[in-house]
Structure 1
C-alpha cells in the first residue's frame, strides 16, 4: 500500500489538508491509554432526578434506543409511560395544485411586476391568492409523527406512594421509588432495550431482589389524538396469557381515497406482556353506578413478583400481524440479561469521547445531551424530526414535527463530529440522500435547472413535489448548500473516501450544479440591476427574516447564501480532486471557478458608533433583531471566517457579535457556537441562557429572549416550551467542544475559548483530518496532549506553549520550534506533546 498522499489546498480562504486517499469506511477502535477518562463513570455522576411524582410529560424520564422513545412519568396513583418511534408517522401526504404552482420563472415574472412601493407583497391580490394556494398542502395536519400509545400501571394510593424517580444517563435505567403502607421502599426499574424495540420493567426490594407485586391494574391506551378520518385501532386481549395489545393502521392515502387498503399502508402494534394473568373487575364510580374495566385494561391477580415487557412493532401493514405476537415471557432473568447487554452498549458509547470539567453544570449538560442523542438517533432508522421520538397527543406535532432545512434538521447533528459519534450522523446523511430524487425533480420541473434544489420543509414519506413551494421561505437558496454541508463535514472529520464516494459526492454535486446554474442566470448577472461583474444570488430569502419583499429589497446576496455556497463549491472542488473526477466535471468546475472569482462581498453596515459589522442582507439596518443568528453565518456554519482570520476580519467579527441581537427560539446552540468559534463566548452568560431554557426532564426548550423582532411585550416567551422535546438542542455539547478544541480549517487549536480560571480535560474529541485529540488545561496551563491519527494525515496544531515543544511520535522523541506544529503521521499512530 502506498503511503497516504497529502497536499495543501486553499479552502474558504484558509489552508486545508487533502485527506488520505486510502481510507476504510469503518471507524477505527482506539486503544485506551493510561489515565483515560472513564466516560461511563463520568456520565453516572449526572442523573436526572425528580424528588416527587413527575406527572407532566415534560417532567418524565426520557428513554430510548435510537428508534423507539419512551417517556416515563409518575403521578400519585400510577406510573404512565408514553411511547413513540422515529419510524411511525401519519404518512398521508397532500400534493394538490401541482399544475397551479407553475414554474419559478412564471412566478418570478409576476412578482417582478408588483410595485416596489407596496408595503407587502400580500397587498397584491394575485400574490395573496397564489401564496394561499401554494401553502395549502402544508396546512394539512399530516404528515406528522404518530404517537404509539401509552401504558398505565395503577396502584391503590392508600397502600403505595410515589417518592420520585431517577434516570441514570450512563445506562438509561429509570428507577421509580415507591413507599408501601408498611414503610417499605420498593423500586420499579425501567429501561429500553438498545437492540430491540421493547421496554422492560422489574420491581425490586431495597436489596435488589424481586419484590412482591403491589400494582392493581394495567391499562394500554391508544393515543387520544388519533384522527377520526383514519381506521380505528383494533384491540386484542389475552387475559390468561397476561397480554394486552392494540394495532393501528396508518393509511398511505388521504381520507377521501383510503376506503380500500393500499399496499403502502403502514401499521404498528403495541403489546404489553405480564408475568402473570389479568382479570376484569368492576368498581363503584362517583355517582353510585357500577363501572366495568375498559378494553385493554386488566386487574392483576395475585402474583409473587412483577415483570413486564412492552414491545413495539412497526412497518408495512401487510407485515404487522393482526393477532397478538408471541413474546418471550418477562421475568427477572430476562431483565438482567438484557440490561447487561445494554450496559455494554452504553459503555461503548461513552468510550467514544469524554470530558472532565471543574464546571459541573457544563459537564452535566455535555453528558446529558449526548445521552439524549443516543436515545433518539441511530443508523438504519428514520431521521428524527423536530421533536425526535417522544410524542403524546399533539405534543411533538407542531410544524408537522418535520425537517426544516434552515438549521432545525442540521443543528442536532453538529455535535456528532467533534464528539466522535459519526455513526449518529448517518440518519441525517440517509435523509439527504432520500430527498435527492424529489429535489432533483423540483430543480428540473420548477426551476428548469440542473442539479437539485432541496426543499424548505420535508417529511420521511414518499414525495413527488416540494412540500413547501411557497415563494417566501420556500425560496431560501441557502437551504440547498446547507442540506449537503453535513455530508462534507462527515468526510472532513472521518477522511473516509468510501463515504465520500458512496454517500456524499452525488448530493453535493447536485447541489453545486443547481447553485452554479442559478447564479449564472441572466437575472443574477450584469444588466441594469447589478452594474458589476459579480454573479449574484437572486432572488433569495434570509432564514426567518423579511421573506419575499416588494422590489426584492432584501432578497439578494444574503450572507448565509454567500458563505454556504462558497463553502460547498470549494468542498466539491476538493472532492473532485480526491475522487479523481475533475475531467468529467470540467464544465461544472469551470463555472464554479468563474463564480468564485466574481463573487459578491458579504453584506455589511455601520453601527451608530461607526463600527463595521456583518449583516444578513445588503441594505439592512445595524439594529435588526434576528430570529436565526444571521449576521455571523460567515463564521459558522460558513467557516469562512474564524480564529484563523486576519486582525481586521477578527475585529469585524467582534463588532458583529457585540452588536447582534437575537430574539430567541433558534439561538441557544447556534449563536453560542458562533461566539465560541470566534473566541468570544461568555461561559457564564451561556450557562444562564441554558438554565432559562431547561425543562425538568433535563432537555432544553426553545425560548423567546427579547422583543423588537417578531415578538412584542404581550408575547408568551415560553410558547414553544411544551410543543415537544426539542431535538435540535441536543447539540449543546458541540458548543462546549468548540471551547475546548477547534479544527474546522484543518488546524487544531486547544482551549480556544476556555476560561483561564477553569480547569478542563477532554478525551478523544474528533478533529478534522481524522484525529482524536485529548488534552487538559490545569491552572491555566495546557498539559497531557495526546493525539491519535486514524488515517495518517499531516497533523497541524497551533502550539499552546509557544515555540518550545517536545513531541513524541510512537515512542520517538523530537522537538519542533514553531508556532504551528506540523507532523507527518501514519495510520494508527499516537503522538504526545508537551512543553519543554
Structure 2
C-alpha cells in the first residue's frame, strides 16, 4: 500500500529530505507530458504534501477529514497531537433577545429617512447608534460557534526517538509521520487516515519494510478536552478501561443561553459529543517529577502504553443528542488490529479512486495541477451529503481557531464560493449540503419577510447558523439590509439543475426556495418608495434601499444605497431562471400573476451603474454615483460576468471592452478575491495565469491550504493593518474552490454553448477529463502547444449540444461507428442520453 515508491518513503523516514526531493522531482517532471487519457488517481499521487520538521503549529499540520469529522495532525519534538472537529458539533446556544425592540423595516426606514443627509455617518445620530448597538447585541455573543472536539496525544521519549516530519497523500488521505530511533538509526512511521464511512481515525506504527513495528515507539497516551470549553458548561465525563486500552470523555453542549440554563437538570435538546481512543495495548499509570522535583501522577485522561510494539488503534468521534449519547461502559467493537486497519484502508483507497475518477486534469504547469488536486482533496475532507453544511472554517477547529464571525454562514459570497467548484469538477453530490442548508433556512426567512418586511416570500439573511434560530441573527440595518443575498443564496440551486438537468431535483429541492425569493424581490421592488416620484425620475423599479457587499453600510440620505450592481445582476438572473423553471415544470399557469410582475420589472429594470476614469474610460462600479477608484473588498463591479452569467466572451465588443476596462481598473483590497476575482477574469478570457499562481503562492499556508491575505490599503484597511491577519483565524473553506478557476480557463458553458480553452496559453500541454457543463455534458479535451488536438463529449441526459468549434476548417465527428464532417462557428448536434461524441480536427 505504498503512497510513493518504497525507496522514496525510506529516504523520507531516514530523514534524508534532500534525497527525498531529488527522487520526487524527476517523477513530477516525467509526469508533465500528458498521455492519451488522464488518470487522476495517479496524478493526485504526485501532489502530496511534505513537512520535513515538527509541525507544532495548527496551520503546519496535515489536514484530514471525511466530510463530517476533521482532523489536523500536528507534531512536536516529543509528541504527535491530533486535533478533532466536526461539522455537526457546534456550541448550539443562540441569543435572540430584543425582538420586541427591533420594530419593522418600514418603521426603521421611516426613522432613517428623517436623519439629515449632512451627517458624515448614521452612527452620529444618537437614536441610530443606540438602535444599531441593540440590534447587534445577539451577534456580539461568543456563541453559536463550531465547537472543538478535543485532542489525542501520543508521546515518546525524545532522548531515544527523533521526529523528522510528515507527509500527506492527497491521493488517498494517508498521513505518515516519520521517526528515527537515535541509537539504532532505524526508521519508524506512524500512519493515520480517516475512515470515509464512519467518524473514526485509524492509526498504526510500521517499520521501514511496511511491517508492524515490533518495538515501542510511543510511551504515553493522553486525551485533552478543548481548553476553550466555557466554564458554564457541564463538566465533561471521563470513562476509561485500562485493560481494553480505552480513554474517553463526553462533553455536553447546552441548548440554552447561560442565564436560562440549569447545568444540573440540562435540557432535552442538549447535544453532546464523545471522543474515544482505543489501542491494542493495556494502559498503565506512573508518576513523574515536575519542575519542583515533586512526583506528579498522570491525570484521569492520561496513561502509559504498556505494549512493547505492534501498536494499532483508532479514535472515534460520536455526536448527537446528549440523552442518546450516554456512554454505556462497554466497547462493542473488537480491539483494533492490523488486519482491521489494512482492510479499512483498502476500502478507503477504493473510495478515493472513485472520487478521483469523476474528473481529472494533467497539465504541463505542475503548480496549477497541484492547486487543482490539493484543493479537491481538501474539499472532499470538508463536505459530505447528510452532514451539516460547513461554515467559514469547515470541520477543523481548536480553541478559538475556526470561530471568527462565529464560523457561521455569510451569504454575500463566503458560503456560496466553495460550492462553485462542485459543478464543473463533476462533484454535484458535494453541493447537496448547501442545498439542504438553504431549504432548512427557508421557513425562518419566510417568517422574517412576513413579520419584518410585511412582504411575501423569503428574505435570506446576511448571516445564519446551523442551530435552532427563530429570527434573523444579524438584523442591523447595515449588512442586514443587503438585498443581493436573497437572489444569491438561491442562485446555485438553479445552477445545480442546469448542470444536472435533473427535473426531480428542480421540483423538490430548488423550485420553492427560488419561488419564495422571487416573491420577496418582486414585492420589494414594487414598494412605493422604490419607483416613481418624488424620489425617482424614471419608469424603473429600483432596488432600494440596499447595501453593497462589504462596502459603505447604510448612509445618511441613502447615498450609495440603491441599485447596487450585485443586487441588479443577481435579481435579473433569478427572475430569468425562475421564468425558465416554470416552463420546465409546467407551472406557468399557477404562477401567472408572479410571472407578469417579473416581466413588468424586467421591462423597467434599472441600468447597471458606471463611471468614467481619469483617462475617460467607462467602467462598472458597485453603485450609482460611486468614484471609480473605490477600493473594494468583494469584487462587485464585475459581477455581471460572474456570478451574474450575463456578460463574458460572448458579449458584444463594446460590452467586452467595458468589462475589461473594469477588470484592469478595479482596486481590490484582497481577502475576498483569490477565487472570486480570478473567476471573473477567466470568464473574460483575461486572467493572467502567472499572476494568479503568484497570488495563490502568496496566500498559501504550510498545510497547503490558501488563506485570505490582504493586497492593498485604501479601502477599509490602513498601513498598520497586518496583511496576514486572516491566517490564524482558521482553514478557509471558501478557497477550496480554486480548481474552479482552472476549470473556467479550460472550459466554459455558462451560455449553454461550450467554449474550449478560452483562457489558456499556447505553450505547453493541458488535458482535462470529464469536466461537467451546463446541459449535463461531460467533456474531455487536450490542448498541445496552442492546438486543440481533440475533444470528447458524453451526453448524460441527451439534448442539444452546442460548441464553439476550435478549428476553422471544421471537425471530424466520431459517433459510434459513424464518422461525419461538421463545420460552422458553432457546432449544433442533437444528442441521445448516454451517447459519446468525439471530435478531431479536419485537415485542410
Q: Name the TM-score, length of structure 1 as normaliser.
A: 0.95
Give the match for residue 265 of structure 1. Answer: 270
2:620 — aligned with what? 614
1:563-574 matched pairs, under 5 angstroms = 563-574=569-580
Choose which of 227, 231, 238 in structure 2 pairs with 1:228: 231
2:209 pairs with 1:204: no
Question: What whole-Å deviation, never above 9, does each CA across 1:394-421 have from its counterpart, x for those lacking one?
Answer: 0000000000000000000000000000
What residue in structure 1 maps to residue 186 of structure 2?
Answer: 184
Hey, what's the Cα distance between the residues in 1 that align with 2:357 and 2:482? 40
Distance in 2 between the 1:621 and 1:298 partners? 65
| Structure 2 residue matching 1:651: 3-state secondary structure | helix
Structure 2 CA distance for aligned equivalents of residues 170 and 638 of structure 1: 34
Match of 1:575 in 2: 581
**Distance of 1:500 and 1:159 partners within structure 2:** 62
In structure 1, how many angstroms separate the alpha carbons of the residues matched to 2:735 and 2:223?
A: 31
Of 592, 602, 609 in structure 1, the residue corresponding to residue 598 of structure 2 is 592
Map Cα deviations across residues 500-549 of structure 1 (whole Å, 9 max, x no partner).
00100000000000000100000001012111100000000000000100
Aligned length: 803
> How many Å separate the matches in 2 of 1:295 and 1:662?
52
Shift of 1:305: 1.1
Q: What secondary structure sits across from 1:687 in the alignment?
A: helix
SS of aligned partner of 2:518 = helix
CA separation in 2, counterparts of 1:657 and 1:476? 24
Q: What per-residue deviation string (whole Å, max 9, x for no partner) do you get for residues 459-478 of structure 1? A: 00111100110000000000
**TM-superposition CA deviations, 1:187-234 (whole Å, max 9, x none):** 111000000000000100111110023111010000000011111111
Aligned to 1:75: 76
Please report how far the alpha carbon of residue 803 of structure 1 lies from its aligned counterpart in structure 2 after TM superposition.
4.5
Structure 1: distance between partners of 2:245 and 2:119: 68
Q: Give the SS at the match of 1:664.
A: coil
Contact 1:237/1:244 (<8 A) preserved = yes
The aligned residue for residue 117 of structure 2 is: 116
Shift of 1:302: 3.2
Instruction: Determine the C-alpha separation between the residues in 1 that align with 2:810 and 2:244.
Output: 73
For 1:757 and 1:208, the matched residues in 2 are separated by 42
Q: Deviation string for 1:535-591 (max 9, x for gaps)?
A: 000000000000100000100000000000000000000000000000000010000
For 1:370 and 1:332, locate their aligned partners in 2 and report how far apart those are by CA, in whole Å. Answer: 29
CA distances 1:85-104 after superposition (whole Å, capped 9, x unpaired) = 00000000000111100100
Q: After the TM superposition, which residues 336-355 of structure 1 pair with which residues of structure 2 at under 5 Å, given as runs?
A: 336-355=342-361
Measured after TM superposition, the shift of residue 807 of structure 1 is 1.2
Retained in 2: the 8 A contact 1:438–1:464? yes
C-alpha separation in 1, matches of 2:816 and 2:102: 63
In 2, Cα distance between equivalents of 1:306 and 1:641: 59
Which of the residues 534, 537, 548 maps onto 2:540?
534
Alignment of 1:326-341 (within 5 A): 326=331, 327-341=333-347
Aligned equivalents of 2:113, 2:486: Cα separation in 1? 23
Supply the distance in 1 between the matched residues of 2:823 and 2:70 (Cα, whole angstroms): 53
> Counterpart of 1:474 in 2: which secondary structure?
helix
Alignment partners' CA distance in 1, 2:386 and 2:547: 34
Q: Hey, what's the Cα distance between the residues in 2 that align with 1:214 and 1:186?
A: 8
Match of 2:607 in 1: 601
Aligned to 1:15: none
* Partner SS for 2:491: helix
Q: CA deviation at 1:835?
A: 1.0
State the distance in 1 between where 2:381 and 2:329 align: 27
8 Å CA contact retained: 1:271, 1:324: no
| 1:322 CA drift (Å) | 2.8
| Alpha-carbon distance, 1:812 to partner | 1.6
Aligned partner (choices 803, 821, 824) of residue 797 of structure 1: 803
Q: Is the 8 A contact 1:803 1:819 kept in 2?
A: no
Name the CA distance, whole Å, in 2 between partners of 1:441 and 1:468: 15
Q: Distance in 1 between matches of 2:463 and 2:797?
A: 37
- Whether 1:695 and 2:696 are equivalent positions in the alignment is no
Change in CA separation of 1:296 and 1:377 when aligned onto 2, cut-off 3 Å: same
Question: Which residue number corresponds to residue 497 of structure 2?
Answer: 491
Counterpart of 2:28 in structure 1 is: none
Alignment correspondent of 2:12: none
* Equivalence for 1:316: 321
Contact 1:495–1:770 at 8 Å: present in 2 too? yes
How far did residue 35 of structure 1 move? 4.0
Provide the C-alpha distance between the structure 2 equivalents of 1:822 and 1:389, rounded to a whole number of angstroms: 45
Q: Deviations over 1:738-762 (max 9, x none)?
A: 0000001101000000011132000
SS in 2 for 1:257: coil
CA distance in 1, matches of 2:399, 2:313: 24
Deviation of the 1:235 alpha carbon: 1.0
**Residues 1:384 and 2:390 aligned together:** yes
Partner SS state of residue 794, structure 1: strand
Instruction: Supply the distance in 1 between the matched residues of 2:309 and 2:170 (Cα, whole angstroms).
Output: 30
Q: Secondary structure at the match of 1:763?
A: strand
Q: Structure 2: which 5+ runs fail to align?
A: 1-34
2:766 pairs with 1:770? no
Contact 2:790 2:841 in 1 (8 A): no
Q: How does 1:10-89 map to 2 (within 5 A)?
A: 35-89=36-90
The DSSP-based 3-state class of the residue aligned with 2:779 is strand
- Within 5 Å, which residues of 2 pair with 1:509-520? 509-520=515-526
Pair 1:628–1:324, CA change in 2 (3 A): farther
Determine the C-alpha separation between the residues in 2 that align with 1:328 and 1:500: 45
Q: Where does residue 725 of structure 1 map in the other structure?
A: 731
The Cα offsets for residues 36-59 of structure 1, whole Å up to 9 and x where unpaired, read as 311110001001110111111000
Do residues 298 (structure 1) and 303 (structure 2) align?
A: yes
Give the Cα separation in 1 of the matches to 2:761 and 2:778. Answer: 23
- Structure 2 CA distance for aligned equivalents of residues 727 and 332 of structure 1: 34
Q: Following the alignment from structure 1 to structure 2, what is the Cα–Cα distance between the partners of residues 405 and 170?
A: 32
Aligned partner of 1:827 in structure 2 is 833
**Residue equivalent to 2:510:** 504
CA drift of 1:62 comes to 0.3
Matched residues in 2 for 1:810 and 1:459: separation? 51
The root-mean-square deviation of aligned C-alpha atoms, in Å, is 0.8
Whether the 8 Å CA contact 1:627–1:665 is kept in 2: the answer is yes
Identify the match of residue 460 of structure 1 among 462, 466, 477.
Answer: 466
* Partner residue of 2:721 out of 715, 718, 721: 715
Distance 2:592 2:37 in 1: 48
Point out where structure 1 has 5 or more consecutive residues left out of the alignment: 1-33
Say whether residues 1:435 and 2:441 are aligned partners: yes
Q: Determine the structure 1 residue equivalent to 2:529.
A: 523
Give the 3-state SS of the residue equivalent to 2:496 in structure 1.
helix
Which of 809, 819, 824 is the equivalent residue of 2:815? 809
- TM-score normalised by L of structure 2: 0.95
**Residue equivalent to 2:146:** 145
Query: 1:245, 1:324 within 8 Å by CA — same for their partners in 2?
Result: no
How far did 1:324 drift? Answer: 4.2
Out of 614, 623, 626, the position equivalent to 2:629 is 623
Q: C-alpha separation between the residues in 2 aligned to 1:197 and 1:506? A: 33
2: CA distance, partners of 1:565 / 1:477: 9
Look up the match of 1:663. 669
Q: CA deviation at 1:263?
A: 1.4
Q: CA deviation at 1:783?
A: 1.3
Shift of 1:601: 0.6
| 3-state SS of 1:438 partner | helix
Hey, what's the Cα distance between the residues in 2 that align with 1:176 and 1:646? 56
2:244–2:335 contact (8 Å) kept in structure 1: no
Q: Deviations over 1:713-769 (max 9, x none)?
A: 111001111100000000000000000000011010000000111320000000100
8 Å Cα contact 2:813/2:822 also seen in 1: yes
- Distance in structure 2 (CA, Å) of the matches to 1:35 and 1:307: 42
Could you tell me how far apart the structure 2 residues matched to 1:243 and 1:784 are?
58
Helix, strand or coil at the partner of 2:293: coil
Cα distance in 2 for residues equivalent to 1:117 and 1:811: 76
